[in-house]
A = this chain, B = another copy of it.
């Protein structure tokens, strides 16, 4: 491998080094630039006035993305590995999406997928602390995978049942024109989002709706309350333990409530 190849490889992939880190920041800048330009272009008034400027920005960024893509293919010994990797496909999609600025379709908005590359941030992170936190969170997610599965499953069951019932009860005027709409409404209500585009009008519908809301809120509120009072109970128990006797023999003071003999040396606690 030639020296310039090693150099470019280092810049592209090794965010630990200084040039690699700088490249990383520039890349992030470019991505935000193109995402912002695409977002602004979708606003009609801005598009009318600054359309050309945004078009030029997108062209420049497109050129940079293409250059980067080819460099990433040319440099390593196994180009296929990059092409079929998650980030490789993402980069290609972003280029294809952005290329559509030349055509009629408004698919270039999809360049937004490239911000998913920001997920790399979690890998690149220099700060050891942040990396650990991130791992702790992911770990917590993984360890509780089964609980999440049960949760989602119960959620789907509940929404299907109540969505159908609401469709049967409510008249057409209230917006429950089909079962899928009922299920959609049930999700909106159970998650406490509550748009208000579909709302029950009959007494029976409102009663069931109230019931669903209380479930949705209760899952969070009751859980929070249980944990709180549990935490406080735990705290007061600990305080109880720390207020007890001290052994006159070995000066051990952390005894069980109602202990008669020191658990460390066997001396009687009462003799004191």
**Complex interface residues of chain A between 25 and 60 (CB less than 8 A to chain B):** 35, 38-40, 42-44
**Residue A82 at the chain B interface, CB threshold 8 Å:** no
Q: Is the CB of B263 within 8 A of A161?
A: no
A3 within 8 A of B: no
A129-160 CB mask vs B (1 if < 8 Å, else 0) is 11001101101100110111111110101001
Chain B contacts of A199 at CB under 8 A? 195, 197
Are A192 and B191 interface neighbours, CB within 8 A?
A: yes
* Of the residues B109, B187, B233, contact of A213 by C-beta under 8 Å: B187
Are the C-beta atoms of A228 and B227 separated by less than 8 Å?
A: yes
- When distances are taken between beta carbons in the complex, the residues of chain B under 8 Å from A40 are 180
User: How close is A229's CB to chain B, nearest CB, in angstroms?
Assistant: 4
**A148 to B: closest C-beta gap in Å:** 5
Interface residues of A (CB under 8 A from B): 35, 38-40, 42-44, 106, 109-110, 112-113, 115-116, 118-119, 121-122, 127, 129-130, 133-134, 136-137, 139-140, 143-144, 146-153, 155, 157, 160-161, 164, 167-168, 177-180, 183-184, 187-197, 199, 203, 206, 209-210, 213-214, 216-233, 235-236, 250, 254-268, 270
